[in-house]
Amino acid sequence: MIPLGFLGFLRFFPLNGAITSLDLNVFGWTFLALGAVASAGGILFALPQANLKRLLAFSSVENMGVVAMGFGLSALIKAMNAGDSLASLCLAGALVHILNHAFLKGSLFLAAGSVLRQTGTLDQDRLGGLMKRMPFTGALFAVNSFALAGLPPMNGFLGELALYIGAFTVLKTGVPVLVAAGFLVVVVLSLTGALAAAAYAKALGSTFLGFPRSENAAQAVEAPRRMWLSQLALTILSIAMVPGSVFFIHIQTGGYKSQMLVAGAALGAVFIVFTVFLLMLRRFVCPRGKEKRTSLVWDCGYDEPTPRMAYTATAFTQPLADFFRPLLRSRRHLIAFKGDPAKPTDAAIAAETDDIAIRALWRPLFTKFARLFQRAHLLQNGSLHFYILIIHIAVLVLLVFALVS
Amino acid sequence: MNILSIILAAVLSPFFIGVVNQTKAFFAGRKGPGFFRLYFTIGKLLRKSRMLPENSTWIFDIAQSASLASVAVAVIIFPWTGGGGVSSFVPVAFFFYLLAAGRFLTVLGALDAGNAFEGMGSSREVQFSAFAEIVVFIVLGFLVFLSADTSLSGVLSGIRVEDWKDNVIPLVLVFLAFVAVFLSENCRVPFDDPETHLELTMIHEAMLLDVGGPDLAFALYGAALKFELLAAFLVMMVMPCFGSGWVHAAALFAGVGLISVAVGVIESVMARMRFLKSPQSLMGAALIAALAVLVFICF
């Protein structure tokens, strides 16, 4: 549902239809600026979220930002007449990214729903270890989060790759405006990509890997088959989109630079083949009969590791969240311990990051409006006579207004 | 010839780690473990059985193999002989996304073991790599702008002698910025100390605490390959292209050897930075790279 807005924009600003270059410039820079802010900001806010669904929702903001940057770059290339196939490469990359994101994010949200149903919580600090307890949901979540982190060999990477190729090619043209736009896209995409990898490593790692950090997570069982079958269907669509994305972009651009995308997708397949080869090699070189043993996890020689010692989701993102603290405005609740300093049992720390748009824009705005309407409350005093008087006054005013004009 | 050079790169990579360690031993007045120590270590580890933490899942099981596979693909697409082959079709962004995929897998493997130290290491790793990624792509943007090519081999072999005459300042700045990335991504001093033995001060090593046997061999070999790859990238940024072929490959490997010596010297004369300083230094490197771009465009 989220990308529907883009459909509206494309209807009003047909990038391939008749439109003046001034309009294209305005459209391009607006989309580029909004896209850059949305993608970098979205992923920055996704990172420290403890709630799994909120993390995924902020990541949607990021992905829509990437799509908007693709649209903007495409419009600017059009405006500068720097090559139709280059413009359609960026546009096709953005469109393909919409499709890929829809499949991937849909599957991830369904998986989050399964987690909620089986454990009763979405707080990543209280989850963990679900891969053993919910193997199908976990495996599908792993594949999809790898793709949405924008990494090869999955489909989430290919749309971004098309954008990278477009942005780098734009740098080649040497037109100053386009060079600035290209650099903006490259820098924002690289920052977004790296932070998205961190956010999805956190989502997957703290929800499905490691130790269960609460009773609910420890007792969880696999969700009903129908719940993960729908995720499986979406994941299969995503895998089909690996060649599908290349094919779609190839058709849209008429084969422009498509050997690069084919190389990207094919080398992704080589990557998988290599992994399988190394796994087989490992089995082959290992001495027969004692391939693997299990042991306690290393905790400096301590032999009773508890889930309390594992890194939580909030702890994992703390260094990045701290670095961007002036932007994120995270709130920290520190409960200092009392009593014997040698036994700090009661100390606790929690961090929370709100949506800055809600806190700095919408909530103050709505409070102002609420206050304004409180004043208007004077008119609603419950007396029928007063209401009739108001109606009369209104009719009178309208009459005068109609007569004057 | 291309395949031969790839095999040569694969075989030589542990040797360069040996060069770093021998340089450090020379500075410390020790005899050192020898240039070929890593080959023996890898051979020994491959013959051992694996030890898995009892809570881990299939992610931990495949993490090191998949991570090494991603670096191996990066080795295959690298233009060791100066151009041609696959590398002229590969978009330059893909190369670094492969390395990022390998890092993502290592981080997941570490989180799967589920202890405090591995969580700490992976948390630091993703933080540093996020900043390193920005520097990398500003540098790449500069190189694309300079060489007017977007493929991996085009970007790397596009620097000519005239470029060095005309644009010394931006090239030097970009080189310095990439040196910071090179040291940070390979977990060398001053960003990370590969020889530390305290879990709390580790970054990359902390993620490998529970990895053993063939998996550890893969991890060590992958680290050696990555060192060689990024060093070769660094060399090709400086080295004006003098034709393809064996001369180029030989010069490239000699350059990687020189960089290994330089890394050994840096590690002998410097201590590791405080953790809080590392992201700041990488942001500084990003600014230096951006400055190079501005200088290049404006003058």
Pair A361, A215 in one domain: no
Q: What does R_g of chain A's alpha carbons equal in angstroms? A: 27
Peptide bond into B190 cis (omega under 30): yes
- Asked whether residue A390 is assigned to any structural domain, the reply reads yes
**DSSP string spanning B261-292?**
HHHHHHHHH-PPPPTTHHHHHHHHHHHHHHHH
Which pLDDT value is given to residue B178? 95
Q: Is residue A389 part of a domain?
A: yes
A186 shares a domain with A56: yes
| Residue A293 falls inside a structural domain | no
| A71 occurs within a structural domain | yes
Task: Domain count for chain B, please give it.
Answer: 1
Q: Which residues of chain A have pLDDT under 50?
A: none
Distance in angstroms (rounded) separating the CA atoms of residues A298 and B113:
9
Do residues A241 and A385 both lie within one domain? no
Residue A296 falls within a domain, yes or no? Answer: no
Which range of residues forms the domain containing residue B36? Answer: 2-298
Three-state DSSP class for A300?
coil
What is chain B's alpha carbon radius of gyration, rounded to the nearest angstrom?
A: 19
Q: What is the predicted pLDDT for the residue at A338? A: 67
The answer to whether residues A65 and A211 belong to one domain is yes
In a domain, A141, yes or no: yes
Contacts of A201 (CB under 8 A, 6+ apart): A149, A316, B104, B107, B108, B111, B122, B126
Handedness of CA A311, A317, A318, A320 (dihedral sign): positive
From B58's Cα to the closest Cα of chain A, the distance in A is: 9
Whether residue B55 and residue A129 make contact (CB cut-off 8 A), yes or no, is yes
Regions of chain B with pLDDT less than 50:
none
Given A229, A256, A282, which residue is the final one in a domain?
A282
Query: Is some CB atom of chain A closer than 8 A to the CB atom of B44?
Result: no
Distance CA B55, CA A234 (A): 29
Domain that holds residue A105: 4-282
Evaluate whether B22 touches B71 at the Cβ level (below 8 Å). Answer: no
Instruction: Flag if A275 and B69 touch (Cβ within 8 Å).
Output: yes
Asked if B88 has any chain A CB less than 8 Å from its own CB, the reply is no
B62 phi and psi, to 5 degrees? -100, -10
Strand, helix or coil for residue A2: coil
pLDDT at B36: 95
3-state secondary structure of B158: coil
Q: Which of A258, A282, A306 is the last residue of a domain?
A: A282
**Is B123 an 8 Å CB contact of chain A?**
yes
Contact B166/A at CB under 8 A: no
pLDDT of residue A14: 64
Q: What's the confidence (pLDDT) of residue A266?
A: 92
- Residue A330 covered by a domain: no
Residue A372 lies inside a defined structural domain of this protein: yes
Which residues of chain B does A47 touch, with a Cβ-Cβ cutoff of 8 Å?
none
A237, A256, A282 - which closes a domain: A282
Q: How many domains does chain A have?
A: 2
Q: What pLDDT score does B111 carry? A: 92
**B199 interfaces chain A, CB cutoff of 8 Å:** yes
B130 and A320 in contact by Cβ < 8 A? yes
Q: Is B120 on the interface with A (CB under 8 A)?
A: yes
* CB atoms A315 and B119 under 8 Å: yes
DSSP state, B296? H
**Chain A residue nearest residue B197, CA to CA:** A300
Same domain for A374 and A273?
A: no
Choose among A168, A290, A297: nearest Cβ to B210.
A297
